[in-house]
Amino acid sequence: MGTIAVVDYDMGNLHSACKGITEAGGTAIVTNVAREIERADAVLLPGVGAFDPAVDHLRSRNLDRPIREAIAAGKPFLGICLGLQILFDGSDEGTEPGLGIVPGRVRRFQPEPGLTVPHMGWNQLTLTQPDSALWADLPTDPWMYFVHSYYVDPRDRAARAATTTHGQQTVTAAIHCAALGSGRKNVMAVQFHPEKSASSGLKVLANFVAIANAIPAPC
């Protein structure tokens, strides 16, 4: 069974992420050690908090390099919430550059009458890449739980794996970079919290576990 490295950079709800992976049948190890990330079969990057501290914590712990190398090596990669946003070039929330793995920017919701920010609660997904392995055996237009004030805006809309709405705004709810080519089909990330999204969220994590188990173990 594949091992999933859950990256510890002091910005994620590690207990919830690990519990979700375990309930989905996976084996999770919490780590901030490059060698353990290198040896894992897949990588999960959770995240709760603000953009600039997140990328600062990653870089100060020298975790950006093993993350890049894991992605370049083709390891299945799943980002959750802030772990999605820091894959991008930068954010309206701060001034620090992101990892730049997915071209685009993180943006704040535009003001509109009656719109509450942060966006918090259950919202329905529109699956724009319905054939993504991340969505296997999910119901049509599943409901997921969101907590965020910012959303990702990929430069190439083909990266979108799902969208959702908040007020009158349609925003990216998940990405799967298979459509972008360039060896990034292993990069997946979601804005919602699958570990808080009941059976549908658990199924997303189970699908990621299945993806990790399908990849040959590293030598």
- Residue numbers annotated as active site: 81, 193, 195
Tokens of 13: 């709800």
The helix (H) or strand (E) run that includes residue 38 is: helix 34-39
User: Using CA atoms, how far apart are residues 33 and 42, in angstroms rounded to an integer?
Assistant: 14
Q: Are strands 77-80 and 42-45 parallel, antiparallel or unpaired?
A: parallel
Name beta bridge partners: 160. 175
- Residues 201, 195 contacting (CB under 8 angstroms): yes
Neighbours of 178 (CB within 10 A): 18
Can the peptide bond before residue 118 be classed as cis, meaning omega within 30 degrees of 0?
yes
- Residues 129, 160 contacting (CB under 8 angstroms): yes
Q: Which of 50, 148, 147, 152 has its CA nearest to residue 93?
A: 50
